[in-house]
Structure formats: structure tokens, C-alpha cells
């Protein structure tokens, strides 16, 4: 009998041959979705296009030019590096405060954006990731994230800095929580929630971040188990598990149900999914937009047939999201990548990703630290 895709205590095994490839694919897939969506977002602006009509990644020139990541990918990599620091301490026999490591990592990212270090905050020691040039690019970073980090105070669930902050920022950087090995969802959930609370105080933003981590984790295991429709199975497992969260999650679950229903409709026209999933930029809506895109792509082009077609379609639908195409594209790309692996990522897109080397290096350092199979 196959293992459950999300277990309270059992986690992913880095010795699985699929694990390393799914880590690379989740990170690269999210970066590609982010970069293509950022281009769509830019081209939608009336001053840039002379029109308000949304455009897909192909119609905007997509892979024809350089694909530039946004702060979402930068913070995703800093999240992974913070978790790596925790693993490094553990491998040396020491405990570390995971949330503090995340906060210090985000403060180091703040410095890469040309921001002054907050006087009230401790000054973290530099790490290798700080030297990666692509992560110093300033790409219209999330204002809520900047406001929280500039304060020099560490946001907490019990003492939120910005209680009404409900944007998708923490969801976008939460994929790495789903890549942690050896831990179940009971460990994953508080890590993601506390990490989200560093910048976003609204509980639904925090719960949405945890759910994204759940889906990525379940997608890796679904791939391992050979599930025919791994994205659908991962979303179903995450939805069931999310009901056990002790934080408010009703809105996130409702939007997730909307995504599942919309993606499964037989009468769905080619442009209908983004409209059905809404235009809002709140965390639950953006999560639903990205997951709905991944689900629909799997319905239209089953992964066993042509994984690249699934990935392309997932990103195309995600970047059509009326609220934040970069955010929804990143979510769709990360989940689909985790489920299908690097073989699903179009090589011509990867070749044009401005942060491809930074993503690859960060992933390889992570894989070495967690003990993934050499050469896997």
C-alpha cells in the first residue's frame, strides 16, 4: 500500500533518486514561472503596451529574450539558505532557532536591495548566497516585505508587525519548506507559518504559506509513488491536511476548493480559468490561481504523455492570473516542477533565465548538506 502523501511525522528521504531532481525542478520551475509572469505583468501596464489586455508568456516574447526573476525567487532562495543553515547546525550537533535563521536571512536579502540595515536588528554574518549577483537585482520588491524588514523587529504570530498584511509574499517564498527531508507536516506547518509571520500578520496569509509547502511536499512524494496525476493528488492531500491547522484557514480552503472545481470543469473555455479564480492579490486567491493553473494543465495534457507540455500550459495559465501573474506563475511552476521533474522544464526557457546559475548553485549546496545521493 503506498504511503500517504502527507504524514504527520514521516517526511521525504533525500536518498530517493527522485528527491534531488524534484528539488532542482521545484526551484527552477518556480523561478521560470516568476520570470515569465513578471514579464507579463510589465507588458500589461498601459504605459508599456498601450493596452490593458493580458498577454501570455509566448505573446510577450516570453523565452525569446532574457527572463528576469523578481524578488519572489530571491526570497525563495534565501528561505532555502536559511533552512540549510538550520541543517548545518543540526549536522554539527547543535539546535538552531529556525524562525530567527529565516529572519536573519531576509535581513541579508534586504541588504542586497541597497537598503540600510535596521539599527534595531542584529547584524547577521554573511553567507555564500549573499555573493550571488542575480540576487542583488532590484525588481520592484514587495512593499509589505520591505516595511516589515525595515522595522528591525521580528514579526511573530502572537505579536504581528502588520496584522492586516494578507498579500501573497510569504506564499511565494514557502516552497522550500515542502522540500525539507525527514519531517512531516506537523513540523513543516509551524515553520512555514512562523516564517510568514515575519512579514505578514494576517493568519490566512500564514496558512496559505503552509498549504503551498504542503502541496510541494506532497508533489515530490506523489512523483516517488508514481501517482498518475501527481498535482491533483498533492493538492487533495494538502487540502485534507490543512483542515488540521490550528490557525484560521477557512478562506484558504474555500479558494482551494474553487480552484479544484474550476480546473475540473469540462466546459471550461481557454480563457475562463483566470476569470473564475478571481483577480485579487491576497494570499488565498493567489495560491488558488497558481494551483488552479497547475491542476488544469494536468487535466489538459497528462504528464505521462508530454511533461513539457504540462509545464508550459501550467505557466501559461498561471501567468494569465489577473491579480499577480508573477506570483501565480511561480506557484504553478514550482508545484508542477516538483511533480514532474527537470525533464518537464523547457530547455530554451532555462537557457534564458537570468538567475539560472544562482538557482542551480543554491540547490546543489542544499542537496549536499541534506545528504542527497551524489550525482542524483
Q: Domain segments of the chain: what residues?
A: 17-370
Q: What percent of the chain has pLDDT over 70?
A: 89
Helix ranges, the chain (H): 17-44, 46-49, 71-91, 98-112, 143-150, 169-172, 185-197, 203-225, 230-242, 250-264, 272-276, 283-300, 307-318, 325-340, 347-350, 356-370
Residues with pLDDT less than 50, the chain? 1, 48-56, 58-63, 303
Q: What is the pLDDT of residue 321?
A: 72
pLDDT of residue 48: 46
Angle between helices 325-340 and 283-300 (to 10 degrees): 50
- Cβ atoms of 95 and 59 closer than 8 Å: no
Q: State how far the alpha carbon of 293 is from the alpha carbons of 134, 284, 344, in Å.
A: 27, 14, 16
What CA–CA distance (Å, rounded) separates 322 from 30? 18
Cα dihedral across residues 46, 52, 54, 58: positive or negative? negative
- Please state the separation of Cα 143 from the chain's center in Å: 18
Query: What pLDDT score was predicted for residue 272?
Result: 66
Quickly name the fold that domain 17-370 has. ADP-ribosylglycohydrolase fold (1.10.4080)
Instruction: Specify which residues 1 forms β-bridges with.
Output: none
pTM of the model: 0.93
Q: What is the model's pLDDT at position 117?
A: 97
| pLDDT tens digits, one per residue of 301-357 | 754 578 999 999 999 999 987 678 899 999 999 999 999 999 999 999 999 999 999
- 200-215, pLDDT tens digit by residue? 999 999 999 999 999 9
| Residue 169 CB partners (closer than 8 Å, separation 6+) | 72, 75, 142, 144, 145, 199, 200, 205, 283
Count of other CB atoms within 10 angstroms of residue 43:
18
The C-alpha cell of 130 is what? 549573499
pLDDT of 372 reads: 93
SS3 state of residue 12:
strand
Q: Is 17 exposed, middle or buried (0-12, 13-18, 19+ CB in 10 A)?
A: exposed
The pLDDT of residue 323 is 75
Task: For residues 124 and 15, give the distance between their C-alpha atoms in angstroms, rounded to a whole number.
Answer: 32
Decide: 338 and 25 in contact? Cβ < 8 Å: yes
What local confidence, expressed as pLDDT, does residue 51 receive? Answer: 37
Q: How far apart are CA 221 and CA 289, in angstroms?
A: 23
Among candidate residues 155, 193, 165, the one with its CA nearest the CA of residue 177: 193
Amino acid at each position: 500500500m503506498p504511503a500517504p502523501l502527507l504524514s504527520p511525522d514521516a517526511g521525504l528521504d533525500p536518498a530517493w533518486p527522485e528527491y534531488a531532481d524534484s528539488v532542482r525542478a521545484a526551484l527552477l520551475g518556480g523561478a521560470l514561472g516568476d520570470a515569465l509572469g513578471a514579464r507579463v505583468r510589465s507588458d500589461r501596464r498601459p504605459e508599456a503596451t498601450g493596452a490593458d489586455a493580458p498577454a501570455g508568456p509566448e505573446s510577450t516574447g516570453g523565452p525569446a529574450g532574457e527572463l528576469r526573476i523578481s524578488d519572489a525567487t530571491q526570497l525563495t532562495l534565501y528561505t532555502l539558505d536559511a533552512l540549510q543553515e538550520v541543517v548545518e547546525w543540526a549536522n554539527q550537533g547543535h539546535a538552531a532557532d529556525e524562525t530567527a535563521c529565516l529572519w536573519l536571512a531576509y535581513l541579508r536579502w534586504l541588504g542586497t536591495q541597497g537598503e540600510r540595515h535596521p539599527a534595531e536588528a542584529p547584524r547577521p554574518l554573511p553567507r555564500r548566497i549573499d555573493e550571488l549577483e542575480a540576487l542583488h537585482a532590484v525588481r520592484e520588491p514587495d512593499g509589505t516585505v520591505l516595511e516589515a524588514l525595515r522595522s528591525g523587529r521580528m514579526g511573530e504570530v502572537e505579536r504581528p508587525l502588520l496584522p492586516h498584511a494578507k498579500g501573497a509574499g510569504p506564499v511565494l517564498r514557502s516552497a522550500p519548506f515542502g522540500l525539507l527531508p525527514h519531517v512531516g507536516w506537523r513540523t513543516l506547518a509551524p515553520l512555514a507559518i512562523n516564517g510568514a509571520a515575519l512579514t505578514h500578520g494576517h493568519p490566512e496569509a500564514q496558512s496559505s504559506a503552509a498549504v503551498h509547502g504542503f502541496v510541494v511536499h506532497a508533489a515530490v512524494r506523489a512523483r516517488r509513488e508514481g501517482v498518475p496525476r501527481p498535482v491533483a493528488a498533492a493538492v487533495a492531500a494538502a487540502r485534507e491536511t490543512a483542515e488540521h491547522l490550528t490557525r484560521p484557514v477557512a478562506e484558504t480552503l474555500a479558494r482551494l476548493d474553487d480552484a479544484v472545481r474550476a480546473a475540473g470543469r469540462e466546459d471550461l473555455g481557454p480563457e475562463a480559468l483566470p476569470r473564475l479564480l478571481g483577480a485579487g492579490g491576497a494570499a488565498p486567491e493567489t495560491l488558488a490561481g497558481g494551483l488552479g493553473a497547475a491542476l488544469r494543465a494536468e487535466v489538459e495534457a497528462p504528464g505521462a504523455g508530454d511533461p513539457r507540455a504540462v509545464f508550459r500550459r501550467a505557466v501559461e495559465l498561471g501567468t494569465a492570473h489577473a491579480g499577480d501573474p508573477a506570483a501565480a506563475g511561480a506557484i504553478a511552476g514550482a508545484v508542477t516542477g516538483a511533480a514532474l521533474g527537470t525533464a518537464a522544464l523547457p530547455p530554451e526557457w532555462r537557457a534564458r533565465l537570468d538567475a539560472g546559475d544562482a538557482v542551480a548553485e543554491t540547490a546543489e549546496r542544499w542537496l549536499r548538506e541534506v545528504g542527497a545521493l551524489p550525482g542524483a
